[in-house]
């Protein structure tokens, strides 16, 4: 591939794109700046002009992974067509949880990189939970928004709202890791999906119990 297409500021983005592809193919260990430079058709010196080291590149790939997870969440949320406010808020939270686990299982390498301890370019953690929660843009912000909706429609008690996002996030992320590399990783797809539904139903029951308004969705 000619290097000409990268003379106007595109090389950095091309290296990140190649890094995402490498992670999808071989996991985090498959990322090396020299290899990515060859993949996009430039010298390794050109690559090092855009990234000081591998960690800086991994931070960008982690950001791309988080953005892809956020896009999956938006797609799942937008697909909920329920109009009843209470049911809608509950179904949206379940849809978000399903999308999170589905992404983790389909994008194993990218998911691992997204949540690895890679700094962003300014040295801060990759995920700024407060900023993205306020913007509703990423997976954590989407979760915060769903729980705020539940509180607004009276399914989740205001007294139980603080910190509920961490309970939900821990449950779904922990389940994702059990399915990826824990004792649940060999479950057939149907059995894994049943476990996901039970965990999401348990969260739903617990949230509804705070106001005494819980009733099965089905």
CA atoms within 13 A on the CB side of 120: 10
pLDDT of residue 25: 85
Q: Is the pLDDT of residue 34 over 90?
A: no
Residue % of the chain over a pLDDT of 90? 55
Instruction: Report residue 67: phi and psi, to 5°.
Output: -65, -40
Residue % of the chain over a pLDDT of 70? 84
pLDDT tens profile 184-197? 999 999 999 999 99
**Taking the CB of residue 89, how many other CB atoms lie within 10 A of it?**
24
pLDDT of residue 48: 63
pLDDT tens profile 64-112? 899 999 999 999 999 999 999 999 999 999 999 999 999 999 999 999 8
Q: With both helix axes pointing from N to C terminus, report the angle between 33-40 and 11-26 in degrees, rounded to the nearest 10.
A: 110
**CB contact burial 130-142 (16+ within 10 A = b; e otherwise):** eebbeebbbbbbb
> Distance between CA 115 and CA 107 in Å, rounded?
12
Q: What's the mean per-residue pLDDT of the chain?
A: 85
pLDDT of residue 58: 85
Residue-range domains of the chain with CATH? 1-51 (1.10.10), 62-209 (1.10.357.10)
> Distance between CA 27 and CA 107 in Å, rounded?
10
Residue 120 · residue 63 · CB < 8 Å: yes
pLDDT of residue 122: 42
Reduced to 3 states (helix: H, G, I; strand: E, B; else coil), residue 125 is strand
Residue 6 · residue 42 · CB < 8 Å: yes
pLDDT tens profile 128-161? 555 554 444 689 999 999 999 999 999 999 999 9
């Amino acid at each position: 591939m000619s290097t000409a297409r990268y003379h106007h500021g595109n090389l950095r983005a091309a290296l990140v794109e190649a890094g995402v592809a490498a992670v999808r193919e071989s996991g985090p260990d498959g990322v090396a700046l020299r290899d990515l430079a060859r993949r996009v058709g430039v010298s390794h010196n050109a690559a090092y002009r855009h990234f000081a080291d591998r960690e800086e590149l991994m931070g960008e790939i982690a950001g791309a992974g988080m953005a892809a997870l956020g896009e999956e969440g938006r797609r799942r949320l937008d697909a909920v067509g329920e109009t009843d406010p209470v049911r809608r808020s509950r179904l949206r939270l379940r849809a978000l949880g399903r999308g999170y686990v589905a992404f983790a299982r389909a994008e194993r390498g990218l998911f691992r990189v997204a949540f690895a301890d890679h700094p962003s370019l300014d040295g801060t953690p990759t995920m700024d939970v407060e900023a993205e929660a306020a913007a509703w843009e990423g997976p954590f912000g989407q979760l915060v928004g769903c729980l705020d909706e539940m509180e607004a429609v009276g399914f989740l008690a205001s007294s139980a709202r603080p910190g509920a996002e961490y309970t939900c996030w821990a449950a779904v992320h922990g389940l994702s890791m059990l399915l990826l590399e824990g004792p649940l990783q060999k479950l057939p797809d149907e059995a894994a999906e049943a476990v996901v539904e039970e965990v999401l139903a348990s969260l739903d029951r617990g949230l509804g119990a705070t106001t005494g308004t819980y009733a099965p969705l089905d």
